[in-house]
Amino acid sequence: MFKIVKREQFSPVTYLWKLEAPDIAKAAQPGHFVIIRHGDGGERVPLTIADFDRQAGTITLVIQAVGKTTTALQGLKEGEYLDDLAGPLGHARHFDKVKKVVCVGGGLGVAPTYPQLRQYKQNGAHTISIVGFRSKDLMFWIDRFKAESDEMIIATDDGSFGVKGLVTGPLQEVLDRNQDVDEVLAIGPAIMMKACVAVTKPRGIKTIVSLNPIMVDGTGMCGGCRVTVGGKMAFACVDGPEFDGLQVDFDELMARAKRFDPFERESMRRFREQHECHLPK
């Protein structure tokens, strides 16, 4: 069992756990993920490691309550224990020596972008960060990003903070005035990463993305997380989760992600019915 030593609520649907997991913290690297499970018959949920502290023996996860399991897990409090935590899984990110990099994080993807941004900075790169949220009330970790960025741009879909619109607008503008960008990192919803690649591909800029398709075991056995990269099949859990974004078939990735939508909606409906307070009128 793994103790939740810190819990923080960023928004009604986004929350942070700092978990006591010394062995995982010791081995964790940017790009790694873990799989969590809680309760008898609980669903296995893959989550990218947002931060790690080797000295304290902790890892940090940022979670969004979008389905039955992540909504139920939101009820766990600081000091309580998570049943199962497996990791670190996947390939650690290999960092080439670059002089200038743009790190783009969208929504929940802001969390796993952070440790990579920090590593780029520690490696001596000039760092430009672009973070996007639907609205101001969903923002988090702005101070962390500022501390590791030579330049930072914040975008919100509704214009409630920073630049109004999607992250692709600022990305286009940054690349227009920085012809010497060596690499772009983009982590967020598949549609966002696809849009970022549409900006970088015509320029021939190396673009790294982090894929998080449906997966069960995290060892390549179930095949649920298969993706097509460069015309060849790969498994996100063992071959990724980081891939060359210019080679990813995003249309296939997004189509496969919708396979279980009806089942997820039904599971959420049943969960809500079970937890409603049925008081006599």
Amino acid 276: pLDDT: 59
Residues 253 and 189 in one domain: no
In whole angstroms, what is the distance from residue 217 CA to residue 12 CA? Answer: 29
- The answer on pLDDT for 220 being more than 80 is no
Domain edge (last residue) among 189, 208, 227: 208
Residues 113 and 193 in one domain: yes
In whole angstroms, what is the distance from residue 49 CA to residue 103 CA? Answer: 17
* Residues 63 and 70: beta-carbon distance below 8 Å: yes
Residues 66 and 133 in one domain: no
Amino acid 209: pLDDT: 96
Residues 226 and 274 in one domain: yes
Amino acid 153: pLDDT: 97
| Structure tokens given for 155 | 């975008």
User: What's the mean pLDDT when you consider all of the chain?
Assistant: 90
pLDDT of 26-54, one tens digit each?
Answer: 999 999 999 999 988 888 888 999 999 99
Residues 200 and 99 in one domain: yes
Report percent pLDDT > 70 for the chain. 97
What are the two backbone dihedrals, phi and then psi, of residue 70, each rounded to the nearest 5 degrees? -65, -30
Q: Which of 261, 259, 267, 187 is nearest to 223 (CA)?
A: 259
Mean pLDDT of 224-252: 92
- The answer on pLDDT for 277 being more than 60 is no
What is the torsional sign of CA 182, 185, 190, 192? negative
DSSP classification of residue 123: T
Tell me how crowded residue 39 is: count the other CB atoms within 10 A of its CB: 12
At 279, the pLDDT band (50, 70, 90 cuts) reads very low
Residues 153 and 218 in one domain: no
Residues 239 and 261 in one domain: yes
- The answer on pLDDT for 280 being more than 90 is no
Residues composing the chain: 281
Residues 101 and 53 in one domain: no
Domain edge (last residue) among 178, 208, 238: 208
Query: What total number of domains does the chain contain?
Result: 3
Residues 49 and 110 in one domain: no
Domain edge (last residue) among 62, 89, 116: 89
CATH number for the domain harbouring residue 169: 3.40.50.80
Residues 221 and 186 in one domain: no
Residues 18 and 109 in one domain: no
Q: What region, left, alpha or beta, does residue 127 occupy, with left being phi > 0 and alpha being psi -120 to 50 degrees? A: beta
Mean pLDDT of 218-231: 85
In whole angstroms, what is the distance from residue 179 CA to residue 215 CA? Answer: 38
Amino acid 272: pLDDT: 77
CATH number for the domain harbouring residue 54: 2.40.30.10
At 184, the pLDDT band (50, 70, 90 cuts) reads very high
Place of tokens 């983009």: 186
Residues 196 and 111 in one domain: yes
Q: Which domain holds residue 132?
A: 93-208
Contacts of 132 (CB under 8 A, 6+ apart): 104, 105, 106, 107, 154, 155, 156, 157, 166, 167, 188, 192
Least confident of 40-54, 176-190, 195-209: 40-54
pTM comes to: 0.87
